[in-house]
A and B are shown apart, each in its own frame.
Chain A
Amino acid sequence: MSTLTLEKPPVPPSTPSAASAPTAPRPPAAKASSLIIGLDLGTNKSCILAGAPGSTDITVSKVVPTVVGYVKDGIVDGIITGNVRILFGEDALRQRLHVELVAPLAQGVIAHPGAARDFMQHVRLLADPSGRAEIRAVVGVPANAGEQAREAVRRAAQGIFARILLIPEPFLAALGFRDDSRVKQSGYVDPVVNSLFIDIGAGTSDLCLVQGYFPTREDQISIPFAGDAIDGIIHEELNRTYPNNGLSRLSVREIKEAYAYVGPSRKPLDVKVVIGGKGRTLELGDAIGNACNVLIDKVYPALTALIGYASSDSVVALLQNIIVTGGGSQIRGIDTVLQKRLADDGYESPRVRLAGQDFQRYVALGALKAARAARENQWQVLLE
Chain B
Amino acid sequence: MEETELAAAAVRARAASGAGVESDDRFRAIVEEERERVAGAVALAELLAPMLSERLLALAPAHAPAAGPAPRKPGARAPVDGRGIADYIDEMLAYERAGSP
Contact = CB atoms under 8 A, between A and B. Distances in A.
B101 A217 contact: yes
Interface residues of A, number: 46
B71 to A, nearest CB: 6
B84 A373 contact: yes
B89 A167 contact: yes
Interface stretch (A50-58, A76-84, A311-319): A311-319
B89 A190 contact: no
Interface stretch (B14-22, B28-36, B44-52, B92-100): B92-100
Interface in B51-68: 62-68
Interface in A131-150: 144-147
A308 B91 contact: no
B83 A212 contact: yes
Interface residues of B, number: 31
Interface of A: 144-147, 165, 167-168, 171, 175, 190, 193-194, 211-214, 216-218, 301, 304-317, 319, 344-348, 369-370, 373-375, 378
6 contacts: A213-B77, A214-B91, A214-B95, A308-B71, A374-B86, A375-B89
Given A171-B88, A213-B80, A345-B68, 7 more contacts: A167-B92, A216-B100, A308-B72, A345-B67, A348-B63, A378-B89, A378-B93
Contacts of B39: none
B78 interface: yes
A314 B76 CA distance: 10
> Which of B70, B72, B90, B93 gathers the greatest number of chain A CB atoms within 10 Å?
B70
B88 A214 contact: yes
B2 interface: no
A216 B100 CA distance: 9
Contacts of B79: 193-194, 211-212, 311, 314, 317
B81 interface: yes
Contact of A373 (B63, B77, B85): B85
A315 B63 contact: yes
Contacts of B80: 193, 211-213
Listed from nearest, the 9 A-B pairs whose CB atoms lie closest are A308-B70, A346-B66, A212-B80, A373-B85, A214-B91, A305-B70, A311-B76, A309-B73, A211-B79
Contact of A213 (B63, B72, B85, B88): B88
A301 B100 CA distance: 24
> Which of A190, A213, A305, A347 gathers the greatest number of chain B CB atoms within 10 Å?
A213
B91 A213 contact: yes
B65 A165 contact: no
A118 to B, nearest CB: 27
A383 B101 CA distance: 23
Contacts of A145: 101
A129 B99 CA distance: 38
B71 A375 contact: no
